[in-house]
Structure 1
Amino acid sequence: MARVSQEHLDARRRQILVGARRCFTRNGFHATSMQDVLAEVGLSAGAVYRYFRGKDEIVAVIVGEVLESVRQSYVAVADADPPPPPDTVVASVFQRMRETIGEVWDESPGLPQLLIQVWSESLRNQKFADTLNEGYQRMCEEWVLLVRRYQAHGWVCPEADAENVARVFVAMMQGYFVQVALISRWDPDDFVAGLSSLVSMSLPRPRA
């Protein structure tokens, strides 16, 4: 029997994740069954269960990838000197997410409602809770580094607790997704524009 290459295995795993993500963003997490996922990706149950134990594990992986994509966006701008202001950082996050999970921005209920469902589910599902806690902790760590650089450039009060400020920035992003999921569609570019106006009113841009 021919040996299956790692490249083939990785491609098949990615096929399952992409298909499952389409199902979840189209129908929501709870309304999607594993049979729906199997039909979407055109694979047998055995082929899918070779990679994932069930729907919960697939969702956890998808959410973990989204959070890691956001974190990598922070990493990509962290070395700039002077550091980019928060509105530029957030714009880069949205751009990276558009590139990596593009269909989520256009389909309903989409990523925001999927996140709300996962947040709710994490109250009883420890795997979800661990995935979210790890992802948000890593994001906070990147924001802490940025805040400390803002302090060094005179953008944020040097006496401020960098972790507290970082958590406010993370909460701001969470609040955006909550509003989109529960109230109305809010274009990410409009969110960035509002944040830019707020920043320009209240704080000076970083000095070189």
Structure 2
Amino acid sequence: MARVSQEHLDARRRQIMDGAALCFARNGFHATSMQDVLKEVGLSAGAVYRYFGGKEELIHAIVTEVLDEVRTVYEDAAGQTPPPPPHELLGKVLGDVHGLRPGLVADGAPVFARLMVQVWTETLRDPRLAQVIQEGFGKVHAAWVRIVEAYREAGMIRADADPAAVATTLIAAAQGFIAQQAIFGSVPLDALERGVRDLTGMGEVSG
């Protein structure tokens, strides 16, 4: 019997996650059944359940992937001296998250924007998902705190700036932008970049 390559396994897992993301973004978590996911990806139940035990596992996998992508960008930035200004970092993170699957759009809005708004609501009833989000937020916040501390040391912001408060505010800006995209459709990313640049007074919008 031929051995299935890791590349094939990864591609199949990707196919399932993308199909599930589209289903969830279109109809919400509760109105989407595993049968809907099977139909979307064109696979048998056995093929899908080999990777995921059900909807909750799919949701958690999608959320974890996005949070890991965000955390990696910020942690890499925290290691630079000095780090890129906030508008560049926020633009890169949101661009990278949407760029994970650029073709995934539901009702004119990026799939991940619609998913994240649903996820925030779902945390009110799913303690395990709430824990995933809280842990992910904690790591992202910690990375932002290190970035803001580096800004302060480089003289890029006020010497008495509160790194934790600035980190919370910048994360909130990204979350608010995601909510706008989910509710109002495709809001230009450069609008967020220009707004954060003009508010902070740090540099020009790149590109």
- After TM superposition, the score normalised by the length of structure 2 is 0.86
| Equivalent position of 1:51 in the other structure | 51
Residue 158 of structure 1 is matched in structure 2 by 159
- Write the distance in 2 (CA, Å) between the matches of 1:199 and 1:73: 20
Match of residue 22 from structure 1: 22
* Partner SS for 1:103: coil
Alpha-carbon distance change, 71 to 159 in structure 1, aligned in 2, over 3 angstroms = same
Quote how far apart the aligned CAs of 1:4 are.
3.0
Alignment partners' CA distance in 2, 1:36 and 1:185: 26
**Quick one: distance in 2 between partners of 1:19 and 1:89?**
29
Render the CA deviation track for 1:58-83: whole Å, top value 9, x for unaligned: 01111111121122222343333332
- Equivalent residues of 2:70, 2:97 under 8 A apart: yes
Equivalent-residue separation in structure 2 for 1:166 and 1:59 (angstroms): 26
Q: Distance in 2 between matches of 1:172 and 1:38?
A: 36
Tell me if the contact between 2:38 and 2:45 (Cα under 8 Å) persists in the aligned partners: yes
Show the counterpart of 2:66.
Answer: 66
Moved more, 54-63 or 111-120: 111-120
Asked if residue 41 in structure 1 is aligned to residue 41 in structure 2, the reply is yes
Counterpart CA distance in 1 for 2:92 and 2:177 is 15
Match of 1:135 in 2: 136
Aligned AA (2:106):
E
Q: Distance in 1 between matches of 2:34 and 2:103?
A: 20
Q: Is 91-100 or 136-145 further displaced after alignment?
A: 91-100
CA RMSD in angstroms comes to: 2.1
Question: What is the match of residue 77 of structure 1?
Answer: 77
> How far did residue 84 of structure 1 move?
1.5
Q: How many residues align?
A: 201
- Residue 81 of structure 2 contacts residue 150 of structure 2 at CA under 8 Å; is this kept in 1? no
Q: Distance in 2 between matches of 1:60 and 1:134?
A: 13
Q: Which residue of 2 aligns with 1:8?
A: 8
Q: Secondary structure at the match of 1:92?
A: helix
3-state DSSP class of the match of 1:10? helix
Query: Which stretches in structure 1 are left out of the alignment for 5+ residues?
Result: none
Query: Aligned runs of 1:111-122 on 2, under 5 Å?
Result: 111-122=112-123
Contact 2:123 2:130 in 1 (8 A): yes
| Structure 1 residues 20-57: Cα deviation after superposition (integer angstroms, max 9, x where no partner) | 12222333333321111101111111111111111111
SS at match of 2:112: helix
The superposition leaves residues 140-195 of structure 1 with CA deviations (integer Å, 9 ceiling, x where unpaired) of 11101101101101123333332222112111111112233345542212121222
| Residue aligned with 2:51, SS | coil
Identity over aligned pairs, percent: 45
Partner SS for 1:102: coil
What's 1:176 paired with? 177
